[in-house]
Structure 1
Amino acid sequence: MTTDWSRERILIFAPHPDDETLGCGGLMSKAKDAGAEVFVQFFTVGDTADQSPKGFSTAQERHTEIKKVADHFRWDDWHMALPGDQYHLRLDTMARVDINKLVEQDSPLSITRLRPTVVIAPHRTSYNQDHQVVAEAVHTSLRPSDHRLRHHPKLVLAYEEAADQWRTDAVVPPNLIVGLRERDVEAKLVGMQMYGSQSHDHPHTRSELTLRSLAALRGMQAGVAHGEGYHVLRHLL
């Protein structure tokens, strides 16, 4: 399967700021260089106790990071669906029908309004409850129907993150490898560094060595130097 990224309008769903870079940083770099449009729909961000040096990051800090990353990857637009603490790390407490409506039609970057050609979402086997909720909402919103009545992106993918491998039912390897140039890998690493509150030294699932090692592993599996792994949910030829 080959994709002419210059012709694509890509919509990436990220439960939290940094998920899009962890899962799709290389693809975003490659696609933008080719001339693609890239949009990122975030769901939640709030004040969070974390493993950063100071042990805490604020929503304002995270928004500042997003703006830097957006400029770095040259996103065409991004949107935060549910800012604040109410649903941050608690998307599983929100009615599923309301999340589906955000994804399908209510958000400025909804599938109905944006009409993307490519949709990329988290994989449902993530251990993280917010990732599971977003994955299921996107899956429901892209359910089979008459394409004349509901927009059907021709390519639907699920991205992987190193931490997802913790799940015992996540051992099925990706069935699509996007080959990356060294510059795409570097762009991904720089983007992750811009999320200063979320990047960590090795050993950590968000360390530079982890991201570079996973890129080398996925590339090797496709016979190239570097790659990103995805699961194909739909591919309309």
Structure 2
Amino acid sequence: MTTDWSQERILVYAPHPDDEILGCGGLMSKAKSAGAEVFVQFLTVGDTADQSPKGFSTAEERYAEIKKVSDHFRWDDWHMALPGDAHHLRLDTVPRVDLTQLIERGSPLSIERLRPTVVLAPHRTSYNQDHQVTAEAVHTALRPSNAALRHHPRLVLAYEEAADQWRSEPVAPPNLVVELDEPQLLDKLLGMELYGSQSHTHPHTRSELTLRSLAVLRGMQAGVALGEGFHVLRCLA
């Protein structure tokens, strides 16, 4: 399967700022350089206790980081759907129907308004409840129906993050690898560095070595030097 990324309109669903980089930062770099349109729909952000020396990060810090990352990747637009501590790390308290309707038509970057050709979302096996909820809501929003009545993106992919396999249920390996070159991987690594409140030294799931190691592993599995792995949910040839 080959894709002419210059012809694509890509919509990435990120439960929180940085998930889009961890899951598909290389693909975004590759596609944007080819001429694709790239949009990012964040679901939520809030003040967060963490393992940094300060012990927390604020939503204000995260918004400043998004601006830097957006400029770096030259996104065409981004939007935060449900900001604030009432939703951050609590998306499992939001009714599925409300999230699904937001994705389908309620957001400025909804499927109905944007009509993307490619959609990327987290894999449902993540240990994080916000990731699980986002994955399931996107899956519901893109359910099969009459394509003459509802927009059907041609390609729907679930991206992976290094800690997804922490859950005990069996997870099949990615069945699609997007080849990356070194500059595209460096773009991804710099994007994670720009999320300064979220990047960590090794060993950590968000360390530079973890991201590079996963890219090397997925590339090797496809017979190339570097890659990003995805699970195909829909592919209309």
Q: Give the TM-score of the pair, scaled to structure 1.
A: 0.99
**CA distance in structure 2 between the partners assigned to 1:22 and 1:64 by the alignment:** 18
Q: Deviations over 1:12-69 (max 9, x none)?
A: 0000000000000000000000000000000110011111221111000000000000
Aligned to 1:35: 35
CA displacement at 1:172 relative to structure 2: 1.1
1:111-190 equivalences under 5 Å are 111-190=111-190
What SS is found at the alignment partner of 2:203? coil
Measure the CA separation in 1 of the matches of 2:15 and 2:38.
17
Mapped partners of 1:84, 1:92: distance in 2 = 14
Identity of aligned residues (%): 79
Q: Specify the code of the residue in structure 2 equivalent to 1:224.
A: V
**What are the superposed Cα offsets for residues 153-197 of structure 1, whole Å, 9 maximum, x if unpaired?**
000000000011111225310000000000010000000000000
Q: Distance in 1 between matches of 2:231 and 2:10?
A: 16
Equivalent pair of 1:126/1:170 in contact (CA under 8 Å):
no
Q: Where in structure 1 do 4 or more consecutive aligned residues deviate above 3 Å? A: none
Amino acid at match of 1:26: G
- The worse-fitting range, judged by mean Cα deviation, of 46-55 and 57-66 is 46-55
Query: C-alpha root-mean-square deviation of aligned residues, in Å?
Result: 0.6
Question: Secondary structure of 1:120's match?
Answer: strand
Q: Which residue of 1 aligns with 2:25?
A: 25
Could you say which residue in structure 1 is the equivalent of 2:234? Answer: 234
Following superposition, the deviation at residue 112 of structure 1 comes to: 0.6
Which residue of 1 is the match for residue 46 of structure 2? 46
Q: Distance in 1 between matches of 2:25 and 2:108?
A: 22
Say whether residues 1:210 and 2:205 are aligned partners: no
Between the aligned partners of 1:166 and 1:53, the Cα distance in structure 2 is 25
Determine the C-alpha separation between the residues in 2 that align with 1:172 and 1:214: 16
Moved more, 165-174 or 20-29: 165-174
Equivalent-residue separation in structure 1 for 2:175 and 2:74 (angstroms) = 28
Q: Distance in 2 between matches of 1:4 and 1:192?
A: 26
| TM norm structure 2 | 0.99
Letter of the 2:99 counterpart = I
Partner SS, residue 163 of structure 2: helix
Provide the residue aligned with 2:107 in structure 1.
Answer: 107
Q: In structure 1, how many angstroms separate the alpha carbons of the residues matched to 2:139 and 2:26?
A: 23
The residue identity in structure 1 corresponding to 2:232 is V
Is the CA contact (8 Å cut-off) linking 2:119 and 2:153 kept in structure 1? yes
Listed as ranges, the gaps of 5+ residues in structure 2 are: none
| Secondary structure, aligned partner of 1:157 | strand
Which residue in 1 is equivalent to 2:220? Answer: 220
Amino acid at match of 1:29: S
**Number of corresponding residues:** 237
2:71 is the counterpart of 1:71:
yes
Alignment partner of 1:162: what SS? Answer: coil
Structure 1 SS opposite 2:13? strand
